[in-house]
Amino acid sequence: MSATAPPRNNRLADQFEAGLDAPICLTWELTYACNLACSHCLSSSGRRDPRELSTEQCKAIIDEFAAMQVFYVNIGGGEPTVRPDFWELVDHATASGVGVKFSTNGYGITPEVAQRLAGSDYVDVQISLDGATEAVNDAVRGAGSYRLALQAMGHLRAAGFRGFKISVVATRHNIPQLDDFLRIAEDHDAQLRITRLRPSGRGADVWSELHPLASQQRDLYDWLVVNGEHVLTGDSFFHLSAYGESLPGLNLCGAGRVVCLIDPVGDVYACPFAIHDTFLAGNVIADGSFATVWRDSELFTELRSPRSGGACTSCEFYDSCRGGCMAAKFFTGLPLDGPDPECVRGFGEDALAARDADRPVPRPSADHSRPSSARPGLPQLPVLSAGPPRATAPAAGPPVKPCAEDPLAGFA
């Protein structure tokens, strides 16, 4: 974020709510195959889908991105580096002027690969790490995953790859470790990225055990206000903006407006966290092209039209949080035009408590979990304290902006 040009988030949001001719960037899960079986996997990955797009189909999609001037694509999975043609596709993208940032658990990052990656301006790497210690990480991501990630990070550092990303999904077990993550990133000449845990994919099964406690949400927000300049968030915490000042980013739900997801079989969803028929816009093969789906699908047209804030309209913080995350609401069984389950004013908890027990919570449409990843539950971890309570800690109750108490706040 530039210090010289303060963001005008609401105005930008107005521009983007009607959608763009092409996404700014998009997420492309190249495969559902994965060497790990993380308990919170947002795409329920594990086994390869036999209908996975071929190398030639993938290259044709990349050519479309180039023609649409999609600046860069976030490639994920599954573990994308298990695809034998992965590096061929990365090369095709960068040769076409489409930047690549790919997410990996470290699987494919050998010393030789790290050397090669360090030599390209157009490729960025994001290593997933959900605990600053082996115990916290492996409880969610599986035994050996911490060492795998640290080994890959070591290779990248040794190769001189500056500024690769370390990507953390914030949970109640790792929020007390935020400063430790920052130190790990600094030690590796990397940049920290912290994003929100969504109840998507297998994440739905563990969300209630893992999502940050209300007090931790406040800790996280305060930490991001202090450290946000150097930490990426994927704009995923805009629901926390109701605490006060907006966090860096666009601060709006970009689903179908500026972002979308292409899954391994070419299905196009409104966002990476919404793998469900309700948010399926089309298929790049069946509909002839990605551009057709992006520009003409009924779903995206609807998502780009003005939306009702529903129950949130009367909330004085609606302009800040805009009702929060569509996927988080959907997969916790909440109405899309009501509060986010993690609404900082607590309305989400009320809504969760008031859910109709007879109405089933939607399940993801695609599940590629390996049978072995059906586990009885998470290993129990203690919720660590972030330290002594702050002297200035706000009293329990809804967060309050100065303007909510005094209409002249900021003008005096």
Partner 1 sequence: MDTVEAPITSEPASATPVTTAVSPAFDRTAPWRLHPGVAVRPEPFGALLYHYGTRRLTFVKDSTLLRVLQSLEDSPSVDAAMASGEVPPESRTRYAAALERLAATDMLVLHDARTDDEHQTARQKGDP
- The C-alpha atoms of residue 22 and residue 237 are separated, in whole angstroms, by 24
Task: Give the footprint of partner 1 on residues 173-202 (CB under 8 A).
Answer: 191, 193, 195-196
Task: Give the footprint of partner 1 on residues 58-87 (CB under 8 A).
Answer: 69, 71-72, 74
Identity of the residue, 252 or 334, whose beta carbon is nearer to partner 1 in the bound complex: 252
Q: Is 329 in the site for partner 1 (CB under 8 A)?
A: no
- Asked if residue 163 lies in contact with residue 176, where contact means CB atoms within 8 angstroms, the answer is no
Q: Is 153 in the site for partner 1 (CB under 8 A)?
A: no
Work out which of 101, 155, 211, 345 binds partner 1, going by CB under 8 A: 101
Q: Name the percent of the chain in helix, strand, coil, to the closest 5.
A: 35, 10, 50
Question: How many whole angstroms from its chain centre is CA 40?
Answer: 12
Q: Is 302 in the site for partner 1 (CB under 8 A)?
A: no
Q: Is 236 in the site for partner 1 (CB under 8 A)?
A: yes
- Which one, of 122, 67, 68, lies nearest residue 91 by Cα? 122
What minimum distance in Å lies between the beta carbon of 250 and partner 1?
Answer: 6
Work out which of 86, 102, 164, 331 binds partner 1, going by CB under 8 A: 164
Angle at 25 between CA 292 and CA 112, to 5 degrees: 120
Q: Is 276 in the site for partner 1 (CB under 8 A)?
A: no
Q: Is 163 in the site for partner 1 (CB under 8 A)?
A: yes
Strand order in the sheet with 191-196: 191-196, 165-170, 123-128, 99-104, 72-76, 25-29, 261-262, 267-269, 280-283
Q: Is 2 in the site for partner 1 (CB under 8 A)?
A: yes
DSSP output for 111-165: HHHHHHHHT-TTEEEEEE---SSHHHHHHHH-TTHHHHHHHHHHHHHHTT-TT-E
What minimum distance in Å lies between the beta carbon of 256 and partner 1?
Answer: 10
State the binding string over 383-412 for partner 1 (x if CB under 8 A, else -): ------------------------------
Question: Reduced to 3 states, what is the DSSP secondary structure of residue 38?
Answer: coil
Work out which of 243, 273, 279, 294 binds partner 1, going by CB under 8 A: 273
Work out which of 113, 250, 299, 366 binds partner 1, going by CB under 8 A: 250
Interface size with partner 1, residues (CB under 8 A): 51
Taking the CA of residue 79 as centre, how many other CA atoms within 13 Å lie in the half-sphere pointing to its CB?
A: 24
Distances (CA, A) of 271 to 99, 236, 257, 328: 19, 12, 10, 12
Q: Which residues contribute to the site for partner 1 (CB under 8 A)?
A: 1-2, 4-5, 7-8, 11-12, 15, 20-22, 24-27, 69, 71-72, 74, 97, 99, 101, 121-122, 124, 161-165, 191, 193, 195-196, 232, 234-236, 248-250, 252-255, 258-259, 271-273
